[in-house]
Structure 1
């Protein structure tokens, strides 16, 4: 049970790399509604999937390497389908979670993800068309923690209690950061406390999550390492 509970917590929405609170993108044809005098942002360099995968698999944290998994986008789609048949209390948290997943799918960002060779950490790297897109995604990572800090969930015949909170994460080299703690109770057992640290470096996001008992510093240091390598690639 303990081995699968961390995955269940992530499944509930907080492992999502760059969840967004939604909203349509500005119409590019008419300048997105900007005023004539608005200063144009410099064009961001979007890192492609092959480059992100290379960064993920060539970066070592505490001597551990990472292996990318295929079909990250498809996994989000399957997650959304599974949550459709799940029950949430309060009920609004189901809609919030689904909105986050679906917005992540529709964002147009490029994402790769994988776990460390010792299965202690997972990492996700994303790159977007603009800084604004990346920031919008980052802002959404704390949405569930803020609006659904204590939620009960029933899925696939299993009942769980999920509790979320935010914390200040310090990631070297990042422009903005977000930290979320998730704890899960199911079947009378409490899972490992899970920390999700998400950091923005220009138009790119790094998200690191612990899958086993580790100190907070281990998660933030891993995020700092990946931010440094992503900035080199960009």
Structure 2
């Protein structure tokens, strides 16, 4: 019975969020069980382009370190804001969401070669948080019950928290930079005088992921609190 309930809840998670978070958890589990090692996963341009170990272009986004507080913190934020985006501004636009993943991942990979980062999953999470926060500027945030602020400040609060934990802020800055580039090209530049839409989702992605009609029985979780996690929870102004 418990398994059926878990299965139903799991299948209620939208496709992209479900696939990405599951891949991250399974990758970490494989490392914990010593089936693979982080040395087989990390981003290394020489091994990718000279030894053709192309899987590293993907696996470096899937490993967040050993199971512990840092891993759980990243998984909660990844699941939370990825799902809010997919059920919010990307509702019914799975192909566009996948294209955002591909565009941001490519951009992050190029930038990553210049800042010597070996795992980019945390930066990718910050990118998702940044895009969500800019698209929901009226949401008030409460972080661990200590800080209250508007949603656009959330990526910077997370960077400060990361600094307190002794992590490098380069990771957070990379996520913020890539998130800003996507947000500017997708949400700001098209409305500027002389601007236009540079980011266009390829037709092959639309054919693969977009369905002609939405499922009328599908009920997404409220955008402010998917999963019910209180870390960085939001409340709309006037709500």
- Higher strand content, 1 or 2: 1
The answer to which structure, 1 or 2, has the higher relative contact order (CA under 8 A, 6+ apart) is 1
Shorter-chain TM band: under 0.3
Structure with the bigger percentage of helix: 2
Q: Give me the TM-score of the superposition, normalised by structure 1.
A: 0.27
